[in-house]
Amino acid sequence: MPRVKWTNYLKPYWLPVLLAPLLMLVEVFMDLLQPKLMANIVNNGVMAGDLAYIRTTGLLMLGVAIIGLIGGIGCSIYSTIASQHFGADLRKDVFAKVQTFSFRNLDKFKAGSLVTRLTNDIVQMQNLVQMTLRILVRSPFLAIGSCIMAFMLSPKLAIILVVAVPVLFISQYYLIRASFPLFSKVQNKLDGVNTVLQENLSGIRVVKAFVRSAYENSRFGKANGEFTDIAVKAARIVAVNMPIMMFIMNASIVAVLWFGADLNWSGSLELGDLIAFINYVTQLLSSLLMVGMMMVSISRAKASGDRIREVLETEPEIRDAAGARSDIIRAGRIEFDDVSFKYDTSRGEYELRNISFTAEPGETVAILGSTGSGKSTLVNLISRLYEVTEGSIRVDGVDIRGIRLDHLRRQVGMVLQEAILFSGSIRDNIRYGKPEATQEQIEQAARAAQADEFIARMPDGYDSIIGQRGINLSGGQKQRMSIARALLIRPAVLILDDSTSAVDLGTESRIQQALKELMGTSTTIVIAQRISSVMDADKIVVLDEGRIVAVGKHDELMRSCAVYQDIYESQLGKEEIRHGGIA
Q: What is the DSSP letter of 2?
A: P
What is the Cα–Cα distance from 487 to 493, expressed in whole angstroms?
10
Residue 493: which of 406, 397, 395 has the closest Cα? 395
Residues 6 or more apart whose CB falls under 8 angstroms from that of 357 comprise 335, 336, 365, 539, 541, 548, 551
Each residue of 177-228: pLDDT tens digit? 777 777 778 878 888 888 887 777 666 666 766 667 788 888 888 888 888 9
Beta bridge partners of 413: 494
Each residue of 464-512: pLDDT tens digit? 888 776 777 888 888 888 888 888 888 889 888 877 766 777 777 788 7
What is the Cα–Cα distance from 27 to 500, expressed in whole angstroms?
68
Residue 274: which of 53, 39, 46 has the closest Cα? 39
**CA distances from residue 174 to 195, 250, 298 in whole angstroms, order as listed:** 33, 21, 15
Average pLDDT, the chain: 84
Answer whether 53's CB lies under 8 Å from 41's CB.
yes
**What is the model's pLDDT at position 415?**
85
Answer whether 164's CB lies under 8 Å from 285's CB.
yes
Q: What is the DSSP letter of 537?
A: -
What is the Cα–Cα distance from 142 to 149, expressed in whole angstroms?
10
Answer whether 239's CB lies under 8 Å from 182's CB.
no
Highest-pLDDT range among 46-60, 85-99, 197-211, 285-299: 85-99
**What is the model's pLDDT at position 59?**
92
Residue 472 phi, psi dihedral angles, 5° rounding? -100, 20
For residue 573, is pLDDT > 70? no
Domain 6-312 has CATH 3.90.1010.20: no
The two beta strands, 364-369 and 523-527, are parallel
Residues 6 or more apart whose CB falls under 8 angstroms from that of 326 comprise 403, 404, 406, 407
Highest-pLDDT range among 307-321, 388-402, 416-430: 388-402
In DSSP notation, 265-289 reads: HTTSS-HHHHHHHHHHHHHHHHHHH
**CA distances from residue 314 to 110, 342, 343 in whole angstroms, order as listed:** 14, 20, 18
**What is the model's pLDDT at position 578?**
46
Each residue of 109-161: pLDDT tens digit? 877 788 888 888 899 899 999 988 888 788 888 888 888 888 888 888 888 88
The mean-pLDDT minimum among 139-148, 250-259, 437-446 falls in 250-259
Where do the domains of the chain lie? 6-312, 334-579
What is the Cα–Cα distance from 475 to 482, expressed in whole angstroms?
11
What is the Cα–Cα distance from 81 to 83, expressed in whole angstroms?
6
For residue 574, is pLDDT > 70? no
For residue 575, is pLDDT > 50? no
For residue 583, is pLDDT > 60? no
**What is the model's pLDDT at position 21?**
92
| Single-letter amino acid code for the residue at 84 | Q
Q: What is the CATH number of domain 334-579?
A: 3.40.50.300
Q: ∠499-500-505 over CA atoms, to 5°?
A: 165
Q: ∠565-333-416 over CA atoms, to 5°?
A: 65
